[in-house]
Amino acid sequence: MKDYPVHFAPLPNGETLAYRTSGAGPTVLLLHGNMSSSLHWATTIEALESSFTVYAPDLRGFGDSTYEATFDSLLDLAHDVEAFMDVVGIGKCAVAGWSTGGGVALELAADRPEQVTSVVLVDSVPPTGYPIFRKDALGQPIPGDLLKTKEEIAIDPVQVVPALTAYATGNREIMRAIWNAVIYNLHVPPADDYEKYLDAIMAQRNLVDVDYALLTFNMTDQPTGSAPGSGRLGLVTSPVTILHGVQDLVVPLAWGESSLSLLGDRATMVTFADSGHSPITDVPEEFFAALIEGLTKG
């Protein structure tokens, strides 16, 4: 994995976003997912830098970025990214978002349709959010019984507490086990790269905020069990490419298909039969080719 220096962009709201950048050509913005950072885009930056100017920020509370204030929504994170774009001088750009970053990318595209030329959603949270259900005594989700508050999320014994414990104790092996179980379950990165990824993963400080933001994310005009719906999906005018692993255990393929349906004729979908939640690791060459095609649609 190529090493890219970390730069820092102070924002007017008091936060400072760390970022990696490289390349020359049309601008591409890469937005990482939950429990990760811009470092997880390093191999993607290397694949793109000969044709694009690439920026990959750490979102608030991730990696080397600050976490001066808590947040409640993916739109809050999109506003940070918009301020970052202004500070570093990004004009028109294509945006790719992985997992949680896909939701941030959609909010960004809704806010700045004149700047965002195309969107690529990589195994992304759908526009209707990511439900977190209350668990029964055996740790199984109770259908229809959604969590409502950050306080309830913080004590979820299955999806949240193990990661919070890993962060609180600095236990990399718990975090490695989580990633091996659901993200790197098909292929793991090279050992040295994995250790660097774990360094970045362990820097996260905002897990409950992010999980609450995912739970209450809803850009459609129809209510879900967690959110009334902002109707902002209609503000996304750029073409959207959905890239999704058929074997994704974190964001099931059916959720990607739901995104395709909700976006209508603005969107196209490419699936990877041999990939889970991390096509960057599982099918890199296939992923990079589809990513470049999606980024150049606008």
Report domain 7-130+217-295's class. Answer: alpha beta
For the cut 90, the answer to whether the pLDDT of residue 298 exceeds it is no
Residue pLDDT, tens place only, 221-278? 999 999 999 999 999 999 999 999 999 999 999 999 999 999 999 999 999 999 999 9
Run of H or E including 87: helix 74-88
CB atoms within 10 A of CB 160: 18
Segment 57-76 shows an average pLDDT of 98
Residue pLDDT, tens place only, 168-214? 999 999 999 999 999 999 999 999 999 999 999 999 999 999 999 99
Spans of all domains in the chain: 7-130+217-295
Q: Can you give the pLDDT at residue 146?
A: 96
- Average pLDDT in the chain: 98
